Amino acid sequence: MTATVTESHPVVVASANGHRFTNGGTKTCVETAFERIVRGDDVLDALIAGVNIVELDPLDDSVGFGGLPNAKGVVQLDAACMHGPRKAAGGVAASDHVKTPSLLAKAVMDRTDHHLLAGQDVTAFARESGFEIDADLNTPNSKAKWLEWRARTEPLREITDPHEREAAIAGVTREMVKAGRINENHLHGTIHCSGINARGDICAVTTTSGRAWKIPGRVGDSPILGAGLYVDNEVGAAGSTGRGEANVYSLCSFLIVEEMRRGAHPKDAGLTALSRVKDNTVDLRHRNARGLPNFSLSFYVIDKRGRYAGVAMYNPTGHSAFAVCDGKGGRLERLEPLLTGSPDA
């Protein structure tokens, strides 16, 4: 069953960093994308132009250039895009040498018959496709944070019990967050951006530096269709930020779009997906004292009519937000939480 639609309202939605960073310019990601959509640009081109601002901004150390590196100090980037009208998609994973993996993902979509390229050969593809190749995507900020984390965790690697060692290393990261050395939102930092034009064309892009200090080669949810993002041009789009492993297990973006296909409002569809994640979180390492998920996960959703929502597992202070731009301009709006309290308690 497909949704019956009479009209669409242009809108762009994104994670909060989509309306916080400008890379020295005057417009944020969502403002740039919306402006290009209403002037008639292809929706996906407009969205990628928006996320490029965040990918290239060294102040956001969760995405692109200057993202927090893996355990070996290497910035490895993942990204994917989906083009609703063309029913096409592309992605890259564990890419080490291109600042804008969203554009690289689109090149995979446009230039190949594949959906996903991963690892060292991504660089060869990028070089052949005319991308600038950078030896190191670290900034002084990202390198310094990794050096501090490595120095503090190196002695803990002598702990023989793997679970005890993992918990001790995770404790160092929490201490760095509490000390203000790391933005908590950037530990699993990502930017997702979806948009729709007046014709009802829907596209989406998700791009990330992934989980801070991850095992080299780890691939999260961002480049996985149905998890980090999903688009059906007859229904809507969804994408995510937060704990990727939890999202991949439940393929939440696909689930959200299917819920909207059955008639659910974007907010209700997103909360249904979060409830699925909650029910699937049975590993004690990922549950708090209340037996609930001890991690963050958020979804950003639009439907064919241009209705939208941002939902989160928790919003403990009530101030966590997502980015929106429409005819009223760019702004941050409150994320609707599934659960009360916080992930920690």
Of 180, 328, 336, 213, residue with least CA distance to 272: 336
CA atoms within 13 A on the CB side of 167: 8
Question: Beta strand pairing status for 308-314 and 336-339?
Answer: parallel
**What's the rounded Cα separation, in Å, for the pair 87 and 201?**
11
Structure-block tokens of residue 292: 């609930």
**What's the rounded Cα separation, in Å, for the pair 335 and 105?**
28
Q: Under 8 Å CB-to-CB from 155, ≥6 apart: which residues?
A: none
Structure-block tokens of residue 301: 């959703």
Cβ–Cβ under 8 Å, residues 99 and 60? no
Cβ–Cβ under 8 Å, residues 205 and 91? no
Three-state DSSP state, 5: coil
- Phi first, then psi, for residue 57 (nearest 5°) are -80, 115
Q: What DSSP assignment string belongs to 237-249?
A: EEEEEE-HHHHHH
> Which residues are catalytic, by number?
190
